[in-house]
Amino acid sequence: MAVDHIPTGIPGVDNILAEKGIPRGHTILVSGGPGSGKTTFAMQFLHTGATQHNESGVYVTLDEEPSDIRRNMLKYGWDLKKLEDEKKLVFINISPVRVAPSETAGLIQIGMKEFRLIKLLEAIKQGVKEVDAKRVVVDPVTIFTLQYPDEVERIYAMRDLMRELRKTRCTNLLISELRGTGWEREHQFEEYLAQGVILLRTFLKGSRLVRVFQVEKMRGLAIDNQPRPYEISDKGIEVYPGATVYK
């Protein structure tokens, strides 16, 4: 019953996570604004797993095309195609609407009704099986939750997703889109349901915007919950665990 942890491999992050990493099998929410590096963070997690820890990964994309992600990640020197060929990474592309726009009007409705929890879970499970994955990313989970306009239904759907992900025994990152931009935002219900919450935000410090990394929550781990600066360079994301955000 001892807790096992898997290192994220992202510079600075495991230091913050009690020098350990994410508790194995947990589902972590990674929430950030546009341009905050959410996809980079998630792919860095899978790439490190595949190249340094021999753990395969599943990348479920609900928005960007896999070809775009492959190309964009080249700037970090990550050759995803190679990982896919080696069965260390698999893309699951389940963006709900795929039909030609000239037929869209009616089909959007159908697509929306069919695109549901079951379909999402079946796709994930198939991906996990295909590469014997230990790590899963769903990017973004926001478009999934928006399908449930009733708040209670939305909470139940997210709970079910998390419970089923748990059965895969993988460690999972759910990417989420932040709406509010200030410190005094409202908490979102997903933050309560997830076993861990990582925030990627941007705040104004005098004349400069500073990128701010924060582990808001990580069940089962004594974490550093302080806001820490991070940067996105040509090696991906790097967090500075000893630095403070404001002087």
| Chain centroid offset of residue 206 CA | 30
Q: Which is nearer to a copy of itself, 54 or 152 (CB)?
A: 152
By CB under 8 A, the residues from 20 to 49 that bind a copy of itself are 33-35
By CB under 8 A, the residues from 157 to 186 that bind a copy of itself are 157, 159-160, 163-164, 177-186
Based on the shown chain and the rule CB under 8 A, indicate whether residue 54 belongs to the binding site for a copy of itself: no
Q: Is 158 in contact with 189 (CB distance < 8 Å)?
A: yes
Q: Which is nearer to a copy of itself, 54 or 207 (CB)?
A: 207
Beta-carbon contacts of residue 181 (< 8 Å; ≥ 6 apart): 33, 201, 202
Stretch that binds a copy of itself, among 6-14, 44-52, 53-61, 109-117 (CB under 8 A): 109-117
Q: Which is nearer to a copy of itself, 52 or 110 (CB)?
A: 110
| Phi-psi label, residue 54: left if phi above 0, alpha if psi -120 to 50, beta otherwise | left
Give me 19's structure tokens. 């020098």
Identify which of 26, 17, 76, 68 has the alpha carbon closest to the alpha carbon of residue 48: 76
Q: Which is nearer to a copy of itself, 130 or 160 (CB)?
A: 160
Q: Is 57 in contact with 134 (CB distance < 8 Å)?
A: yes
Show the binding pattern over residues 218-237: x = contacts a copy of itself (CB under 8 A), - = does not: xxxxx--xxx----xxx---
Out of 15, 51, 93, 147, point to the residue binding a copy of itself (CB under 8 A). 147
Q: Is 212 in contact with 189 (CB distance < 8 Å)?
A: no
By CB under 8 A, the residues from 80 to 99 that bind a copy of itself are 95-97
